[in-house]
Structures are given as C-alpha cells and as structure tokens.
Structure 1
Amino acid sequence: MTGRRSAGNSRTWSVGSWVKGFFLAGALLLTSCALHPGAELKQSSLGFNRALQHSLAEQMILNLVRLRYGEPPVFLEVTSISTQYGFSGDLSAGARVNEAYPDSYSFGLGFSYAVKPTFTFVPLQGEEFARRLLSPIPVEHLVLLLNSGWRVDRVLRLCVQGLNGVPNAPTASGPTPSKPPRFETFLRVSRALENLRRHGYLRFVFLEREGRAFPALLISPEARDLAETREVLRLLRLTRASYYPLVGPEAEPGPDRIRVETRSLIGVLFYLSQGVEVPERDVAEGRVVLTRLPDGRPFDWKRVLGDLFRVRESSTFPSGALLAVHYRGRWFYLSDTDPSTKATFVLLQQLFALEASKGKGLSPLLTLPVGS
C-alpha cells in the first residue's frame, strides 16, 4: 500500500514538476520581454523628443511675448540628455503534495521598471549670446535657406532689413518704434522675386570665380523682359546683367550688385514680436509701447506682418492652439489653422539652428563657375 502511494506520488510529482517548470520558464520569458530595454528605449526616446521639441517651441513663443511687453528674453539650451533605467523583480513558487491526487501548486511574479530622464539646460549668455543673437545673419545662410525650398518673400522679410537701400522696417529690429516703419517698396520687391522663383526664372546660388565662392542672384535670360523683372531692376536700381553678387553692408553699393543688410537673430525676434496681439486693457494701461501715425492714431502692424506671423491672445485656454503659453494672466498661442504663421515659426526655428554654426566655417553645398 505504501509502495503504491509512493509510486503514485512519484508519478504525480513528475507531472507536477513538468507543469511547474513550464510556468517558471514562461514567467522568466515574460519578465525578460517586459523588461527588455530596447523596446522601452525606443518609446522613451520618442517621448523625450516630443517633450523637448514642445518645450523649446513654447520657450520661443514666451520670449516673443516678453519682447512685445518690453521685457528681456531668456533662452535655455539643452546640453545633454541622459536616462537611467531601473529594474527590480521577484519570483515565487510553491507546491503542496496532497494525500489524494491532485497536488496543488502556487506561482507568483512581480517586477517594477522605472525611467529617470535628466535634461541639462544652460542659459545662452555671454560670448555665445553675442555671437548667435547680436551679430548679423550671414548672407551665406540666407542662400542656404532660400535653396532649401522656402519662399523668397518669407525669408527676405524675416531676415533682411534692406536691399540696395530699399528698407524693410529696419526700425522693427529693436524695441517697438514710435514711428511707422518703411516697408511697402521692399514688400513689392520680395513678392516679385518670389513670383520669378516660382516660375523657375530666378535662383540664389553660390558662384565661383578665381577660386573664390560668393553668393549671387541669377535671373534667366528668358525673364529679362517680364514685368516682375523690370520692376525688381528699377526698384533696386540695377542694370541688366547675367548675375548679381550679394554683398554685405560693408561693401560699396553699385548697379551690378545687391547690397544686403541682414537682421541679427534678436532683430528677427523683435520684428516678429510686433505680431503678438495684446489685450486692450494692457494697451490702455500703457503696458506696451504703441507705434503711432503722424496724426496720433495707432499704426496697424498687421500691414507689415498680417500675412506672415501672428500670435493670438485669449483669456481662456484656446482649444485650437498649436502652441500656447500662459503669461500675465492670458493665453498667447499659435493657431493650428494658420498655415502661414506655422511656416514662419518653423523657419524661425531653422534659423536658430543654423545660426549655431556661426564661426564654424560653413561651406556652400554647390558652386557654379563663372567667367572672369
């Protein structure tokens, strides 16, 4: 009798051991999959990317609002991102051999997982602040932007305050001016250039002569008799030529070249800050400076920026906002249904990234040889 129970128990324990081993192996496999760092790294890196992009974009909107209110901007830059992964787990199993079949088994599994991201921010200040924000945008950077698919009028209106003496609201490159800016002629020039580019008659390129590369504007021979071409040459006081070198403000003006006066990056921000709407209460209480016409009426900056950039304001959180920041008890936001503002904002962010390369010997991607 004892021998049969022993034999029976031996057979039962053999089956139970196999079942318990199966569950133990499955538990270990499940734990390994759940704690696999590769899958979590992919998910967390995407989350970090979205969080960082959103944070830097909101910082940009906040600084534009600050400038509109006459306050200094503050820029924080991410210098490093590090992540620590923590894992802990416990596994338990038990078996009970009964006098009568079947035996019973117990199984327990627990684990925990933690991700600890660390973003390191430093303020942009000192020499780096002066180099990136206060110095003029290099003309070479304009050509790179113009060759990357951006509209000519968008890039020029944002980054340039004068072409061959034709002003583009140069007083807007600083705190809100008291008098209206001059911009109408520049607007006509930039739109005519964009129309020529859209039809394939115009290119901004790097030319090479005697081993030296320089930026230039090319207008195809087929476009020389078009109305837009004649208007551009007349307004910029240019003579007919196969190409026009783009020179900086330090160069002498001439009818065979285009003298480009670029804004600084902080000048671009001041310029765009005029597109920030402010509540009437803040205007009435003198919290912002108004630009006024000669008769004393407020100048409408939508004439300059209305089709380029607009930051709206609301007393409540805007449901249709792409980005929104809460400041001075109001919400300032970019509308998700304003494609022109969204495009200008993306261009501004690209410009910030491009200006980080100042002083690092950025080379043109393509140069075309010309005769001497």
Structure 2
Amino acid sequence: MCIWRFLLLATLLIGGCAIVGPASISNGRLVYTEVINYTGDQQVLNMIVRDRYAQTFGMLTVASVTATVRFRANAGAEFRAGASASSVDSNLVPLSAGVAYEENPTISYIPLQGEAFMRRMLMPITLEQAFLVRAAATGKFVGRELYLSTNGVQNPVGGPPSPEFQRLEDIHAELELTGAIYYGRAPAPAPGEAEYYVSLHDYGVEHTDDVQAYLEILGIEGQTVDGRDIVIPIYLAPGKRKNAINVLTRTALDWIRHAGSMIEVPAAHLDEGIVEPSDW
C-alpha cells in the first residue's frame, strides 16, 4: 500500500501544478487586460464629457497588477467490502482527486496629475505619433484630428476647418485610397535636413489634377506633375520652409476638446447655459 500512497501523492502534486498554473494565467491575464482597457476607455470618455461641460478631470493609471494564486488538492478512494485483503487490485476502486484554487489580486494605481500630467496634456504630438495614427486609420477626417495647420492652412480647435484645409484632406484621402501617397523616413539625414518626407508616386492621369491642386494648396513649387515621383520633406515647425510641408500638431488636450465639440448635448443644457454651444 505504501507504493500506492506515494503514487497518489505524486500525482496530486505534479498534476495540480501543471493544471492550475496555466489555467490561472489563461483565466486571469485576459480578464485583467480586458478590464484595464475597458476602464481606461471609460476614463477617456469621462474626460471628454467633463471638459465639454468645463469641469476639471483626472485619471488613474494602473501601475502594477500582482496576483497570488493559492491552491489545494484533495484525494479519495473507496474499498469494496468482502474482497480479499491480500489483493490491492480487488480492494481499491478508481481514485478520485480534485484541485481548487483562488486568486488574490493586488492592483496599484497612480494618479495622473500635477506638472508632469499638464506637460503631457499640453505637449504637441510628435511626427512619429502622427504617422502611427495615419497608418492605423484612413479617411478625410484623420488630418483634422492631427494638425492645427499645414503650411499656414488653418484647422482650428472646436470649429470647422478652413475650406483649403478640408480640400487638402479630401485630396490626401483620395490619393491614400489609390496608394499614391505614403510617408517615409530618410535613412541618414544630415544635420538640418528633414528626417521624414511625403512621397507622391504611381498616380495616373486621372489623378494629375488632384496632385497639382495638392501642391498648389501647400505652396510647393518647381514640381512637374507627369507621373514621376514627387518627394516633399515634412517638418514639425510653425515656420514656412520653402517647398516643404510644415505642420503644427495638436496636443492631447486639443484632441479631448475636439472630441468634446462633437458631443450632442441636451437642448435644455444649452438653454440654461450649463454648456456652451459648439461650432462643430
């Protein structure tokens, strides 16, 4: 009987660890990720609505999630009555075993506030971040969310863009749809040269007018629109470098206010002056 007791104990210990470990990760990790993402979205939505109503807002970020898994094993066996005492096989009926575990998470939060938070909210997004958004989304409204101005063509916060800016984005969306425009990075730019550029390529005769209009709105000169590639450097700067694209990007606070301007608020709140009307 000693050997059977040893095998039973080994089975519980080895099997319990093998099953509980992966199961706890599979069940816990996805749930934590989903809840953190969902509550993060809720916080952003709350910020947008509160800013629309001219109220202060803040956020909590998850600093760490520590989960402790505790498990216990149990086993049982039944013996047949009347069987020969010398026969283990006749005495022992199939073993029963079970494993139960509980998970105790410890979640740490850090409030986003103070000087560091304000700096992050008021810092314009970088060109790299703007290009990531461009790569993840397409359409004529993407540029409206990214830029305050392009070569002096204005796109104000909380109101409609200028006709020239909207025309610029319409053309960009059309060229993007046909694969005739993309953003690239120079492999080794010299000091003072642009690190990024916009390339117009493989545009057919049906799009030459669009390309010409695109260049005219930007004030780009000296380019022949005949189907050949056109490479234009792009800078994050308010100044106007000649024959280049100079953009001013939005801040995170601009995005929140821009999104808030599109919220449909109750008419009673407008009549009572609880919230200001939007020009969107």
The TM-score normalised by the length of structure 2 is: 0.78
Question: Does structure 2 conserve the Cα–Cα contact (< 8 Å) formed by 1:244 and 1:256?
Answer: yes
Matched to 1:216, the amino acid is Y
Please give the alpha-carbon distance, in whole angstroms, between the structure 2 residues aligned to 1:46 and 1:244.
44
Q: Does 1:82 align with 2:58?
A: no
Structure 2 CA distance, aligned partners of 1:84 and 1:260? 49
Aligned with residue 200 of structure 1, among 172, 179, 199: 179
Deviations 1:183-214 (A, max 9, x none): 33212211101211222221221234436551
| Match for residue 63 of structure 1 among 29, 42, 47 | 47
SS at match of 1:217: strand
Q: Hey, what does 2:166 align to over in structure 1?
A: 187
Change (3 A) 1:222 1:24: closer
Q: Distance in 1 between matches of 2:128 and 2:46?
A: 29
CA distance 1:99–1:122, shift in 2 (3 Å): closer
Q: Is the 2:20–2:101 contact (alpha carbons within 8 Å) kept by the matching residues of 1?
A: no
In the other structure, the counterpart of 2:101 is 113
Q: Distance in 1 between matches of 2:128 and 2:42?
A: 29
The answer for the alignment partner of 2:142 in structure 1 is 155
Distance 1:27 1:210 in 2: 66
Which structure has more RCO (C-alpha within 8 Å, separation ≥ 6)? 2
Alpha carbons of structure 1 residues 97 and 200: separation in structure 2 relative to 1, 3 Å: closer
Q: Does residue 123 of structure 2 align to residue 135 of structure 1?
A: yes
Deviation, structure 1 residue 270: 0.8
Separation in structure 2 between the aligned mates of residue 116 and residue 164 of structure 1, nearest angstrom: 55
Distance 2:232 2:92 in 1: 90
Match of 1:41 in 2: 25
1:282 match: 269
Identity across matched positions, percent: 24
Match of 1:145 among 124, 133, 137: 133
Q: Quick check: 1:67–1:73 contact (8 Å CA) kept in 2? A: yes
User: Structure 2, unaligned stretches of length 5 or more?
Assistant: 224-229
- Per the alignment, residue 211 of structure 2 pairs with 229
Structure 1 residues 265 and 80, CA gap change in structure 2 (3 angstroms):
same
- How far residue 280 of structure 1 moved from its aligned partner, in angstroms, is 2.4
CA distance in 1, matches of 2:202, 2:99: 73
CA RMSD of aligned residues (A): 3.6
Q: 1:246 to 1:152 in 2, by over 3 A?
A: farther
Note the C-alpha offset of 1:144. 3.8
Structure 1 position 129, deviation (Å): 1.3
Distance 2:180 2:267 in 1: 46
Measured in 1, the distance between the counterparts of 2:110 and 2:175 equals 44
Quote how far apart the aligned CAs of 1:141 are: 2.5
CA deviation after TM superposition for structure 1 residue 220, in Å:
2.7
The 1:233/1:21 distance shift into structure 2, 3 A limit, reads same
Residues in 2 aligned to 1:103 and 1:149: alpha-carbon distance in whole angstroms: 67
Which residue identity is paired with 2:213?
E
3-state SS, counterpart of residue 71 of structure 1: coil
Choose from 164, 186, 190 the match for 1:210: 190
Q: Deviations over 1:20-56 (max 9, x none)?
A: 8699579837972796212221221111111111111
Does structure 1 conserve the Cα–Cα contact (< 8 Å) formed by 2:48 and 2:260?
yes
How many pairs are equivalent?
A: 266
Matched residue, 1:73: 57
TM-score relative to the length of structure 1: 0.60
Distance 1:108 1:196 in 2: 68
Task: Give the CA deviation at 1:126.
Answer: 2.8
Distance 1:152 1:284 in 2: 35
Q: Is contact 1:140–1:215 with CA below 8 Å preserved after alignment?
A: no
8 Å CA contact 2:16–2:73 kept in 1: the answer is no
Match of 2:260, as an amino acid? S
The verdict on how the C-alpha distance between 1:91 and 1:273 changes in structure 2, with shifts beyond 3 A counting, is: same
Q: Which residue of 2 aligns with 1:337?
A: none
Gaps of 5+ in 1: 1-16, 173-179, 292-298, 302-372
Q: Please say if residues 122 and 251 of structure 2, whose CA atoms lie closer than 8 Å, have aligned partners that are also in contact.
A: yes
Contact 1:27 1:109 (C-alpha < 8 Å) held by counterparts: no
